[in-house]
Amino acid sequence: MNRQAQAVVLLLVGGAVLRSSLTDMYLRYVKQGLRPFLIAAGALLVIAALMTLWYEFRGSKTDDDHGHGHSHEPRVAWLLILPVFALLLVSPPALGSYAASRAGTALQQVSDFPPLPQGDPVQISVLDYASRAVFDEGRSLGDRKVQLRGFVVKGADGAPYLARMILTCCAADARPIKVGLAGQVPADLKPDTWLEVTGRYTEKKVKDEINGETIPYLEVVDLQRVAAPNEQYES
């Protein structure tokens, strides 16, 4: 592929990066804090591509004036840009129940548990609840009502869990955090359904069948189906 074709591919890649980073689409791939870096990277790719095209077309015009313009570029090489068009036209969803059901819950040891924020119920993340329930044995939760948001993932026995994927950097290192649902839970919950669940700490726990880690439960007080949020990952 000649320089002009390479520049076109570079332009399309930069455009795809800018398109995703200037909308909420980038949240399906990386953490929210990386947005400025994505915008900068996409802009640099576009500028580099435009400068390359300008220099190449100017050079081609000079060659033509001297009678040396020629090209032996095979047309099939342009098929290489098809995957780049896919990046622009296709928007894959964020990781959900399929990925979560094939990975073990990913809690890491935590020793510091500050008091819960004000509110009744208090809104906390799935990761925060699971950490307090497992490593603090619910002491910092007490009898407070908490509200969690996540999507449904089914265990090997068909039991529904509330889950969120957590990111260290990007979707490539995403891992699930799972919380079991105890009490009056609808039997028709389907995987990837987003829920807002209100409940209280319960001592019930099970072992994840995939990696043997502990999955805590939440005693459900109220459960509502909700739309998926723009930012579907926790960090």
Taking the domains of the chain in order of start, what are their residue ranges?
3-92, 98-234
Amino acid at 134: V
Q: Identify residue 17 by its one-letter amino acid code.
A: V
pLDDT for position 56: 79
Q: Give the Cβ contact number of residue 83 at 10 Å.
A: 11
Strand partners, 181: 218
**Average pLDDT, 10 consecutive residues per value, the chain (235 residues):** 74 82 79 84 88 79 56 59 68 85 88 89 96 94 96 90 90 90 91 96 94 95 94 84
Distance of CA 158 to the CA centre of its chain: 25
Instruction: Decide if domain 98-234 falls under CATH 3.30.70.100.
Output: no
CA-closest candidate to residue 171, choices 103, 86, 125, 110: 103
| Integer angstrom CA distances of residue 111 from 108, 148, 177, 216, 226 | 10, 21, 18, 17, 32
Q: What is the pLDDT of residue 201?
A: 97
